[in-house]
Amino acid sequence: MKNELRYTLLTDGPSDEALLPLLTWLLRQKNIQQPIQSEWADLRRLPNPPKKLSQRIEKTLDLYPCELLFIHRDAEKIPFEDRKKEIENAIKKMPNKGKVPPSVCVIPVRMQEAWLLFDENAIRKASGNPHGQNTLRLPRLVQLEQLSNPKDVLHNLIREASGLNAHRQKKLNLGVITRRVAEFVIDYSPLRNLSAFSDLENEIGQVVNSQGWNV
């Protein structure tokens, strides 16, 4: 067993950094006992950020070496399998694909924010008003993968949960608060009823077992 497990998350955009707590939780569910070190691959500040996915993967591995790579793409209106093939093809196109560590595709049906819409307590705490009494109308769990814009839904819930007036709501840093929501979620297991989340957990389990990280 290694002294620690380092993983890197390459995402579509900066808001998707909020996936880190969820991924760490999933790894712990697979009996990873050693310390887990997570990194989000922030390529935005490079002089010439790569645009092609294969180039982004290559640069990520250069700057954020790891034993496990998570590659995120929102499915949006593209079928899950097509997004997965897109990621797999990008790895095949890399000039030195042999250096790619075990990789897992992270593909929410819409956007990753859909996976943060089930925990009212986490939303209230992240908003800075944990004891708020106003009613928050969270979507039903079975509806999460059908929401057209879960980011807007989450941001509106954060504003409502904050208890602030409209003027002060405009000053909320919704990106930071979204990450806090993910950190305040203690148990992601309700999401196992969602197909994309279940697929992600199964793929993580297969990689962990094949690498012997859980023994």
The pLDDT of residue 139: 96
Q: Name the token pair of 21.
A: 């707590």
What is the distance between the terminal CA atoms of the chain, rounded to a whole angstrom?
A: 7
Residue 12: pLDDT over 90:
no
Strand order in the sheet with 5-10: 36-40, 5-10, 68-72, 103-106
- Position 47 confidence tier, pLDDT thresholds 50, 70, 90: very high
Tens-place pLDDT, residues 119-171: 999 999 999 999 999 999 999 999 998 898 999 999 999 999 999 999 999 99
The pLDDT of residue 97: 67
Distance CA 131, CA 162 (A): 10
Helix H segments across the chain? 19-29, 53-63, 80-92, 120-126, 150-162, 166-169, 174-184, 195-211
Spatial contact of 146 and 172, defined as CB atoms under 8 Å apart: no
The pLDDT of residue 48: 92
**Considering only 12-16, 92-96, 163-167, which range has the smallest mean pLDDT?**
92-96
Sign of CA dihedral 72, 147, 197, 5: positive
Question: Exposure string (b/e) for 35-73, b if CB count within 10 Å is 16 or more?
Answer: ebebbbbebeeeeeeeeebbbbbbbbbeebebebbbbbb
- Position 93 confidence tier, pLDDT thresholds 50, 70, 90: confident
Residue 49: pLDDT over 70:
yes
Residue 104 CB-density burial (10 A; 0-12 exposed, 13-18 middle, 19+ buried): buried
- The mean pLDDT value of the chain amounts to 92
- Position 96 confidence tier, pLDDT thresholds 50, 70, 90: confident
Q: Name the token pair of 85.
A: 């093939």
β-bridge mates for residue 40, sequence order: 9
Is the pLDDT higher at 102 or at 14?
102
The domains found in the chain, sorted by start residue, are 5-109+194-211 (3.40.50), 113-184 (no CATH)
The pLDDT of residue 95: 77
Spatial contact of 12 and 73, defined as CB atoms under 8 Å apart: yes
Distance CA 120, CA 124 (A): 6
Specify the 3-state DSSP secondary structure of 125. helix
